[in-house]
Amino acid sequence: MQKIGVRCNIRAEAASLLVGENRLRFESIFVLIINKNYMKVAMIGTGYVGLTTGVCLADLGHQVVCIDNNLEKIEKLNQGKSPIFEPDLEELILKNAAAGRLVFSSEIKPAVIDAEIIFICVNTPPKEDGHADLKFVERVAREIAAAINGEYKVIVDKSTVPVKTAEKVKETISRYGRPDAQFDVVSNPEFLKEGTAVKDTLEPDRIVLGVDSDRAREKMAELYRPLIEKTGAPLKIVSVRSAELIKHGANTFLAAKISFANLMAQACEEAGADALEVLEAIGLDERIGRHFLRPGIGFGGSCFPKDISAFKKTLEVLGLDNMYVHAIERINLEASQRFLHKIEKELWVLDGKQIAILGLAFKPDTDDIRNAPALRIIESLKKDGAAIKAYDPQAMENMKKVVSDIEYCPDPYAAIAGSDAIVVCTEWDEIKNLDLAKVKSLMTTPMIFDGRNIFDPAKVKALGFKYFGVGR
């Protein structure tokens, strides 16, 4: 233990004499000497996917440099603070930064020069026509080209991109890079769920590698070997084009299950049946499965809406009928519209009514509000003159940046006090475990619109509430 302490002190003193690129290279060399069995990785982009993947690869023992052009974000990360809420992520940042395996920087060039494997983890937002906007991917590819040297590199498309994107990345690096540059471009799609991203990375149900060369396959297998040996996760090696289609296909299928659940909820409401009973029985069929067969007010987040839109456009480009994907999108939008209609029908005149919105994030255990159904609900209620009081355990700061003219409350009971109705938009445990007797005593009229079916209708009604779920 004493030798380790001396070694760390020497390292700290030596590093303090260096700055910028030289310090980053010193850190790389020092940690590589200690962990010579592990690999040097550059992670370009520190959003949900890039940050979680980079941190978890460092936790496996690899030497990782996470790069982002957002200086404020890099400064925050260097202070050991995560810019996003994700369970266990901040603890792993602190642990691996302290161990010298994890560095944050805004400089691409030194990281690319030193790295064996370079991940591209940038945003691919949808264009107005549904196509994925790949300008950030192209920009990073050009920056890699400007920095790449004669040593062999593996460039990894981790961002969710349309099929044939890897070929464009390869063309870009070849066009703008050195003529003696040696590299392969591979596809390594992610399958992370916000709220369980760390667990999904460290305990994956599969690892998909899209490679077209033996050298790249060996490098990527070496990268993931510690994880495979630790968890036994299956490694699926496919062609690059197949890997690019797998992520869009997987997300479209999962979105289809959610939309099917909401379609069944519509049918159950019209027929006087209970969608939860129906869908539970359907999900017991092992060919179908129970996951994602829960009705609600629609899916949100950054992945499903963006990915199914991009896949719909891919089908169009390939000359295939995309009406199936279009129906998934339409049913998802109708889910929140039908729910709003219930609120409007029951409350009659919304002008002047006070409504408590419980849950703002698109799902629990995240602060992400992108495409959150709560956004659509709030905007519609506001247009009709309702006064909104809102609460979410994590997402209020993000929502304030988008919606400033509603009241944000410090706890759910403050939002409920004096309200004519409660609208549940996110299934946080804190909301599930509310003291309903206290809730009733605080309300002007005891009415719950449960967009996530978190309450038992019989129990709630027995307490004197008017209850409206989805498909119940």
Residue 303 appears among annotated catalytic residues: yes
Distances (CA, A) of 407 to 94, 100, 369: 35, 44, 17
How many CB atoms are closer than 10 A to CB 444? 12
Helix (H) or strand (E) holding 422: strand 421-424
- Identify the CA nearest to 295 among candidates 268, 272, 271: 268
Helix (H) or strand (E) holding 296: none
Distance from C-alpha of 314 to C-alpha of 36, rounded to nearest angstrom:
43
Q: Tell me phi and psi for residue 104, to 5 degrees.
A: -115, 135
Asked if 239 and 210 touch (Cβ cutoff 8 Å), the reply is yes
- Taking the alpha carbons at both ends of the chain, their separation in whole angstroms is 62
195: left (phi over 0), alpha (psi -120 to 50) or beta: left
Edge to edge, what strands does the sheet with 354-358 contain? 407-408, 387-391, 354-358, 421-424, 447-450, 466-468
Options 56, 121, 303, 425, the catalytic residue: 303
Residue whose entry in the numeric block shows the structure tokens 């209620």: 381
Q: Which residues are catalytic?
A: 303
